């Protein structure tokens, strides 16, 4: 009787498309990274300056932060972003060690031939799980001595709203079949910095959109 039941079950599965197709795992669809869009009508050229460490932590690498920010800004449609090494070369030509005066910003932007210069600063940094990273982004155009846009935020991974934002970011950049998902970003300081830079870039675009709308 048991053998008859097994035979009937096998026959049922075969009629539904075969045992192999029933038990084979469905392919996992990998998400595509979403693209941010600037509010400008034309291509807007930016340069990234070395990050300023205001956090008091010796673990901050200013050039690494600037490179990570550059990589995230490069993914924004409508921005043409110059890499950090071009900014450093221009600073060397102007004899600038640190950018701390308005005239330095203007001279640097003019020499680079950009519409604006973005200066990042790290205000808080703890790379250990749960990580914390605070950042300020200031954007200076060649025509003014004060930033036309500024954003400031602290991303503490103990905060539920930060974790939700991180989860959305991680799902756009990791496989859904990964058991770690956003945990990977919490345990890797470089990946967490990438999340923070992306979140700051998104906030900068929102501020710019409001500024242009209010003109």
Which CATH number do you get for residue 59? 3.40.50.10610
Q: How does pLDDT run across 85-107, given as a tens digit for each residue?
A: 999 999 999 999 888 888 899 89
Q: How does pLDDT run across 30-70, given as a tens digit for each residue?
A: 444 556 888 888 899 999 999 999 999 999 999 999 999 99
Confirm whether 20 is domain-assigned: no
pLDDT bracket for residue 121 (50, 70, 90): very high
Angle at 69 between CA 66 and CA 73, to 5 degrees: 135
Compute the average pLDDT of residues 121-147. 93
Number of helical (H) and strand (E) elements in the chain, helices listed first: 8, 6
Give the closest residue to 19 by CA, choosing from 27, 10, 28: 10
Q: How far apart are CA 78 and CA 43, in angstroms?
A: 5
pLDDT bracket for residue 4 (50, 70, 90): very low
Confirm whether 129 is domain-assigned: yes
- pTM across the whole model: 0.80
Contact between 55 and 61 under an 8 Å Cβ cutoff? The reply is no
Parent domain of 157: 29-213
Confirm whether 65 is domain-assigned: yes
Confirm whether 125 is domain-assigned: yes
């Amino acid at each position: 009787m048991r053998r008859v039941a097994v035979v009937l079950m096998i026959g049922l599965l075969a009629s539904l498309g075969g045992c192999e197709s029933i038990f084979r795992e469905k392919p996992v669809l990998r998400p595509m990274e979403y693209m941010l869009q600037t509010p400008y009508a034309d291509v807007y050229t930016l340069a990234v300056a070395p990050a300023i460490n205001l956090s008091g932590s010796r673990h901050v690498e200013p050039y690494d932060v600037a490179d990570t920010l550059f990589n995230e800004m490069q993914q924004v449609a409508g921005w043409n972003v110059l890499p950090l090494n071009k900014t450093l070369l221009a600073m060397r030509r102007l004899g600038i060690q640190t950018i701390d005066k308005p005239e330095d910003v203007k001279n640097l932007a003019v020499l680079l031939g950009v519409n604006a210069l973005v200066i990042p600063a790290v205000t808080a940094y703890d790379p250990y799980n749960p990580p914390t990273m605070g950042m300020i982004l200031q954007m200076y155009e060649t025509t003014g001595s004060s930033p036309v846009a500024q954003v400031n935020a602290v991303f503490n991974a103990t905060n539920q709203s930060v974790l939700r934002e991180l989860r959305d970011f991680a799902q756009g950049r990791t496989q859904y079949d990964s058991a770690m998902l956003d945990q990977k970003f919490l345990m890797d300081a470089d990946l967490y910095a990438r999340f923070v830079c992306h979140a700051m870039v998104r906030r900068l675009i929102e501020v710019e959109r409001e500024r242009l709308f209010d003109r």
